[in-house]
Amino acid sequence: MWDFFETVRHRHSIRRYQSGRAVERERLHAILETACAAPSAGDLQAYHIVVVEEQTTRDALSQAAHQQSFIAEAPVCLAFCADPARSAEQYGERGANLYALQDATIAAAYAQLAVVAAGMGSTWIGYFDEAAICRILELRDGLTPVALLSVGYPFELPEETSRRRLDDMVSWM
């Protein structure tokens, strides 16, 4: 098992997955448990995760995400949805407008790192037709899709991309 820093360094956006290789239920369960262990405002966990394994649904998600075909190719797609009403009960408007979004995003980030730690790859998808995703996933009223995460075994690892220098993004006071 890698340490945390190696896990972060090995995270890449994977857009080609091994066909016919399913994600084992135990690994998927561990990924979901990790996502649910993420911190959240007031420990409310104001989010909902939809696990999509069905091919026709992944095909539809791929179309709703502007034809990003790797969503359909990956054996699993996780949809992270904010639940603003849950957060609003305790925190009002700020909870609804910000905390629920943060909760869902942090859970998705934890899941993405857990995928790497489990020996697989993923891609974070934020570019999609929100109304279409709600319809395809038959989301209950009030849930807002925030991110899709395609999950599977990489067909190949992409080349590393350049990153901005710390000095360009961090200030010290």
Domains and CATH numbers, the chain: 17-155 (3.40.109.10)
The beta strand positions in 27-120, using DSSP E, are: 47-52, 76-82
Answer yes or no: is pLDDT of 1 > 60.
no
Q: CB of 78 within 8 A of CB of 49? A: yes
Residue 13: the pLDDT is 78
Q: CB of 110 within 8 A of CB of 35? A: yes
Q: CB of 154 within 8 A of CB of 17? A: yes
Confidence of residue 3 (pLDDT cuts 50, 70, 90): confident
What predicted TM-score, i.e. pTM, was given to this entire model? Answer: 0.91
Provide the mean pLDDT of the chain.
93
